[in-house]
Amino acid sequence: MTKTAAARKSPVTATKVAVKRPAPRRPDPGVVVAGNDQISEAIADIVPESQRGTDRYLDVVQWNIEWFGARKSEAKDVVRKGLVFQILKALNADLFVFQEVAGPSADGRYPGSLDDIAQALTDSGAGNYAVYYTKAGGEQRVAMMYDRDWVRAKTDVEELFPRGTHEMPDGKDAFAGRTPLHGYFTARSVGAPNPNGGVTSSKFDFQALGVHLKAMGEGAPQRLASAQVLADWLKRTAPLTDSDAMIMGDWNAAPDDECWAPIQALEADPESGVKFQSINDPSDFSYLWLKNRSDSYVSRIDLTAMTLSSARQVVGDAARVVRWKPIEEVIARTGDMTSTEARRVMNQLKDQVSDHLPTLSRFYFTV
C-alpha cells in the first residue's frame, strides 16, 4: 500500500483562528532548541523533523503522558497542558493512542483531560480530532484521538471487554483494571492524479488496540495472563474483520521478557503473521529512568505488536521511539547518558512533560 505524496498538509500558523473543515494541517516549522534549562521555551522544536506529521503517510503515535489530568498533576498541568498541545500539534498523527490520562466523570461534571486539547488542535487547523476514553482506569485511562478528516471509525471506539472479565485465580485482574481500548478504522489517503481527472483515493482498514499493562516485578503474572488474552485476540478475533491489527501501548516490560511468551510464540509461527520482538528494539529506551545509575535505561517498555501485512507497509522502523531533540543533542555532545548535563535534561523532560517517550508507526499506501 503506497501512500503517494499529496498536498494534504500545509503550514499552520500559531495564531488560533476559527476555521471550517477541512483546514491546513502542516505543523509549524519550529525554532532552534534553546541551549539552557528552559525546555518549555523550545518545546515547539522538541519533535525531530523526521518524525513530524507528513502528508505522505498514515502516522500512528502511542504515548504514556504520565498522570495527565490527574489530581496529583494539577500544578504540573497548568504549564504542561500547553506543552502537550504543542507536541501533539508537531507530531500531527492521524491516530494517537494514550495511556495514563484522566477521563470524563460518569455524571458528566468533569470533562476528559484530552477534550480541550482535541478541540484546540481542531481550532488551530491541525486536524479534526475526536477523542475516546476507556470507562475503567480512573485517572490512568487508555484513550484514542484520531483525525476525522483522514481516519473514520467503522465501529464504536470502546473497551474490548468489561473490566474484570479476565480475573486470575488469585482474584487479580489480568489487566490491572485498565481495560484495552479498541478501534476499527478506515484511513483515507489522497493519491496520485487520475488520468480521468481528480486524484486517486486509497483506503486502509486496520484495528488498533491500546493497552496499559501491569507494572513492576510483582506484576509479571498479570502481564503473562494479559499476554495470553492479547495473543488469543490476535490469533482468533482480530482476523475476523479481514483487516490489519496493531496493539500499542505501555507494556511495562521489555520485548524479550518471558512474560510475553504467548505473543513471542505467535511470532515464531510464520503462518500467524504477527510481528513483535523483531520490530521493538530492546537496546533502545522509551522510559526516562536510569537503572542503578548505570549507562542503561530501565528498558524499552512502550511496545507495538502488529500483523505481517501491516509490518510490510511501514516506513522505516515499525515502532520507532520519538526521542526528543534535547535528548539527542545532549547525547551527541556528551556521549554519556549518565553525565550531569544528560541527567539534568532528562529530569527536566520528566518533570515538565512525561517520563515516557512516544513511539511512532508510519505506514504507506499502495494506490
More confident residue, 203 or 218: 218
- Classify residue 178 by burial, with Cβ atoms within 10 Å: 0-12, 13-18, 19+: buried
* Band of residue 97 on the pLDDT scale cut at 50, 70, 90: very high
Q: Give CA separation, 340 vs 1, 36, 350, in Å.
A: 46, 14, 15
DSSP-derived 3-state class of residue 20:
coil
Strands 58-68 and 95-101, bridge-based pairing:
parallel
Q: Give CA separation, 211 vs 156, 163, 202, 366, in Å.
A: 17, 13, 29, 29
pLDDT at 53: 52
Please report where in the chains the cell 508537531 appears, as a residue.
90
CATH entry 3.30.420.40 includes domain 39-363 = no
Q: Give CA separation, 359 vs 44, 248, 295, in Å.
A: 18, 9, 22
Domain positions in the chain are 39-363
53 vs 320: CA distance, rounded Å: 14
More confident residue, 232 or 347: 232
pLDDT at 57: 75
pLDDT at 354: 96
Query: Average of pLDDT values for 188-207?
Result: 65
pLDDT digits (tens, 9 = 90+) for 63-92: 999 999 999 999 999 999 999 999 999 889
298 vs 317: CA distance, rounded Å: 21
Please report where in the chains the cell 505543523 appears, as a residue.
27
Query: Average of pLDDT values for 309-338?
Result: 78
Q: Give CA separation, 161 vs 124, 185, 204, 346, in Å.
A: 35, 18, 25, 37
Cβ(162)–Cβ(174) under 8 Å? no
Residues of the chain by 3-state class (helix, strand, coil), percent to 5: 30, 25, 45
Triad 357, 184, 311: Cα angle to 5°: 55
pLDDT at 289: 78
213 vs 177: CA distance, rounded Å: 9
Q: Which of 170-174, 304-308, 318-322 has the highest mean pLDDT?
A: 170-174
Q: What kind and span of H or E run contains 99?
A: strand 95-101
Within 13 Å of residue 71, how many CA atoms lie on the same side as its CB? 2
The model's pTM is 0.83
Handedness of CA 343, 344, 345, 348 (dihedral sign): positive
User: Does 51 have pLDDT greater than 90?
Assistant: no
pLDDT at 327: 86
More confident residue, 187 or 190: 187
